[in-house]
Structure 1
C-alpha cells in the first residue's frame, strides 16, 4: 500500500440536502425523525452522499449520532443563535475552514487538548495552523479533503500537441490541446467546463486561473496580469462545448460523450470513469506564470460551546479521524484523508486515478495554495456572484476586460470593507483585505 501525500490538500465544497428542517425565525431547528446527538454539517448535502456517510457513521459512531446537513449561511447563524441564547441543540459540527474559522473563539470549544490526546496522526502542519485561525489555540480538528482536477478520455489524449506531458500541463499547452482536439473532432469542441447554474466554475477562476496568472485571488483582482488571465479564459471558452453554460456536474456530459475533457471537483467527476477506468485519465490542473494554482478546501470537525454531549462529540471525532475510517470515507464519498493514512490498492479504480492526480497537483514544486473565501459567512454568495458576473460579462458577453474588472473590483471591495476581514491565501494575510 502507498501513503497519500498530505502536505497540502484540497477539499470539495460539497453541496447538498439532508434531513433537516429549519424553523423560520427561530434559533433552533427540527430534525425529521432523528434522535441522539445532532451532528450538524455543511458537507455531503446531496441525498446520496448524505446516506452513504450516515451508513459509514452508523458503523463507527461510539453512540447515537444523527447526521443533519445544512447550507453554509444558515449553518453559521444557527450556531451563533444557539450559543448566544444558551440553548445549544447540537453536539458536533462539521464544515469547511471558511465555515468554521469565523466561529472560532466565541462559538466553538477549544480542542487543543483533544488534539493532544488524539496523538500524532500525521495531520499536515498547514492544516493544524489553519485550525488555529490565527490564534494560539485550535478550534477544529482537520477531518477530510478533496480537490479539483482535469479528466480526459483517451480519445482526447490522442490530440495532445507533440512533446506535451498531460501530467504537467501549462495553461498555454492546455489551450493548444483544446484547439487541436476541436479541430480533429470536425470543429466540435471536446472540452467542457462547469458553468451551469450549480456549477463550480467560479472556483476555477478563484483558486486556479487567477492565482496561476497573478499570484493572488483578491489583491490582484484588477491587475494587468488579471487582464491577461481573462483574455486567456475568453480564448479557452471559444474552444469549449457551447452547452457548458448548462453543465453543473461534468461527469454527466463526460459519460454521454458530449465532451471528452473537463475540469471539475473530484466528486463531480468520479462517475465518468467508474465503468471504464482503463480509458480515462485524471490529470493535475495546469500551471501559469506564478505556478500551479490550486484550491485547498479543508473540512474540519468542531464542538460548539454548550455541546449537548461533549464526551460523545470527542469520541466521535476520535473515530472519524482514525486512518481506517478516513479510508472508508474516501471509498464511500471520495474525500481524501486529512491524516496519514495507508490507501489500499483495492480502492475503486476511479478513486485511484483521482488520488494520483491530487498527489501530483499537491506535490508540484511550483504549487500555489489557495483557499476559498474565509470569513464571509452569509455573504459568501455575494462574492461568488462577483466572480460569476465577471465571467458572464467578459467571456459570455464580450465586455471590455479592464472596465469590467474595475467595476467588479468596486463591488468586491465594498463587501470586504463592510465585513472588515483579513485576506486569505494566496493573498498576503493583511488585517484588511483590499483589492489593489
Structure 2
C-alpha cells in the first residue's frame, strides 16, 4: 500500500508540473499552489510584485487546469503528508475539499476589514473558516454622464432599485429620441449571468430552487418592462464598452473586463455603479477566489502567516495590479491605477458592501452540464422577452428542463439557494 501511495503522489507531482527548485533537498519555501494568475505574465507578477514582500520565501506555482491542481492535492491528502502550504482557487474549487481544509478562524488580521459576505461564503456552510477570500471580479453597471440628468427624482445611482432603473430607461427613451439602455444579449454576451446572478437573486433569493416561482414570474415581467426601453441593437451586443463609446447606449450592464475600454478611453465621460436591487436584495455575482490551507501542509503556522499577508491592503493592491482581480478588503486605491480599475473598483466595493448585498455564486458541480444549465436561462429570455410567450408557461416548461439538468448532474445547491443533500431541487 505504501508503494502505491508514493507512486500516486509522484505521478500527481509530475502532472502538476510544480517541483520546487530545491536542489534535491527538502522543500524550503512555502509552496503556494493555485488555479489563479496562471498566465506567465501574471505568475511572474505574483512572484516579483506580490509575494516578494513576504517575510519568508514563497514558491508560487499556478495552473489554469483544475485537473492537475486537484490531483496533486488529493494525492498528498491520500499520502497523509505533503509539500503544499497554501492553496489559491475559486470558491467552487474548494467545495469538494472542505473536510480537508484547516480552520482559519484564528488568523489575526489586525485592523484589516474583510468583506463580511465573502468571509461567510468562505465557511462553506460549516462552522469553520475553510478559506479566506482573496480577490474578486464581477459585473457592474456603467453610464454616460449625460444620462445622470435623467435619473428619477430622489434616486441614488449607488443604490438603485429595478423600478428606478426601469423609470430611468423610460425617461431616457422618451426624452432623448430613442432607447438608451443597452444589454449584452448577443451571441457572445453574458446575458445568462445576469439572469442567474442578478435578476433571480434580487427577486427570488434563489438561482435554481425558485426558478418557476411567482416571484420569478414577477422578475421576468419586470425585465420585460425594462426591455421596452432597451436598444433593439442589444441582440447583437457582446461587449457593452463598444456601444457605450459610440453612444448608441448611455446605460449598460456587463462584466468589468467588457467595460474597461470605455472607462480607459474616456474616463471623464462615464460612471460605474452597483447593479439594482429587488425585493430580496441587491443580487450580484462575484467571482471569488480564496486562500486555504490543506491539513497536510508542512508548516501550518507559516501558511497562516502567508494567508494573512495576502489580505493586507498593500498586498491586495499589488494583487490587483498583477491579476486585474479586485480587493476583498477595505482599501483606498492609489491614484495611478488605470481608470477602469478606479471606476470599477469603487462600484464593486459599494455593491459588495451594500447592506442589501445578495451574492450568487458561479454554478458549482455541474461539470459537463454547465452549458445546458446556462441554456435554460437563455431559452427563457428568448421565449419570454424576444418571442413574447406567456411567462408562466415558459417557466413551467423550462423549469422541467432545469430539473433534469440538476438531477442528471447531481449538483447540490449553491448560494443564494440553501445547501441541499444531493441534487439542487427545482420547486
Q: TM-score range by the shorter chain?
A: 0.7 to 0.9
- In structure 2, which of residues 90, 96, 119 is the aligned counterpart of residue 96 of structure 1? 90
Structure 1 unmatched ranges of 5 or more: 1-25
Partner residue, 2:418: 428
Higher helix share: 2
Deviation at 1:153, TM superposition (A): 0.7
Q: Provide the rounded CA distance (Å) in 1 between the counterparts of 2:125 and 2:198.
A: 25
- Alignment CA distance shift 1:316-1:217 (3 Å): same
- Alignment CA distance shift 1:75-1:381 (3 Å): farther
Partner residue, 1:148: 139
- Alignment CA distance shift 1:71-1:385 (3 Å): farther
Partner residue, 1:122: 113
The alignment partner of 2:362 has SS state of coil
* Equivalent runs, 1:216-365 vs 2, <5 Å: 216-303=206-293, 316-331=306-321, 333-344=323-334, 347-365=337-355
Q: Provide the rounded CA distance (Å) in 2 between the counterparts of 1:47 and 1:348.
A: 21
Q: Provide the rounded CA distance (Å) in 1 between the counterparts of 2:21 and 2:175.
A: 58
RMSD (Å) for aligned C-alpha atoms: 3.9
- In structure 2, which of residues 155, 158, 163 is the aligned counterpart of residue 167 of structure 1? 158
2:204 corresponds to 1:214: yes
- Alignment CA distance shift 1:303-1:290 (3 Å): closer
- Alignment CA distance shift 1:362-1:133 (3 Å): closer
2:71 corresponds to 1:70: no
Deviation at 1:250, TM superposition (A): 2.5
2:152 corresponds to 1:139: no
Normalising to structure 2: TM-score of the pair? 0.77
- Alignment CA distance shift 1:164-1:128 (3 Å): closer
Contact 1:92 1:301 in 2 (8 A): yes
The alignment partner of 1:385 has SS state of helix
Contact 1:230 1:401 in 2 (8 A): yes
* Equivalent runs, 1:2-151 vs 2, <5 Å: 29=15, 41-44=34-37, 56-57=49-50, 59-60=52-53, 62-63=56-57, 65-70=59-64, 74=67, 78=71, 82=75, 92-105=86-99, 108-112=100-104, 116=107, 121-151=112-142
- Cα deviation 1:12-52 (Å, max 9, x = unaligned): xxxxxxxxxxxxxx966465999788755444567876676
Deviation at 1:300, TM superposition (A): 0.4
The alignment partner of 2:62 has SS state of strand
- Cα deviation 1:158-212 (Å, max 9, x = unaligned): 333455443332212212322333344443x332223344533222112221122
Contact 2:46 2:60 in 1 (8 A): no
Aligned length: 406
Partner residue, 1:11: none
Deviation at 1:262, TM superposition (A): 1.2
Deviation at 1:419, TM superposition (A): 5.2
Contact 1:191 1:259 in 2 (8 A): yes
Deviation at 1:409, TM superposition (A): 1.6
The alignment partner of 2:143 has SS state of strand
The alignment partner of 1:158 has SS state of helix
The alignment partner of 2:289 has SS state of strand
Q: Provide the rounded CA distance (Å) in 2 between the counterparts of 1:259 and 1:80.
A: 47
Contact 2:63 2:69 in 1 (8 A): no
Contact 2:115 2:352 in 1 (8 A): no
Deviation at 1:152, TM superposition (A): 0.3
Q: Provide the rounded CA distance (Å) in 2 between the counterparts of 1:244 and 1:76.
A: 39
2:195 corresponds to 1:205: yes
Partner residue, 2:4: none
Partner residue, 1:5: none
Contact 1:63 1:312 in 2 (8 A): no
Structure 2 unmatched ranges of 5 or more: 1-10, 23-29
The alignment partner of 1:178 has SS state of helix
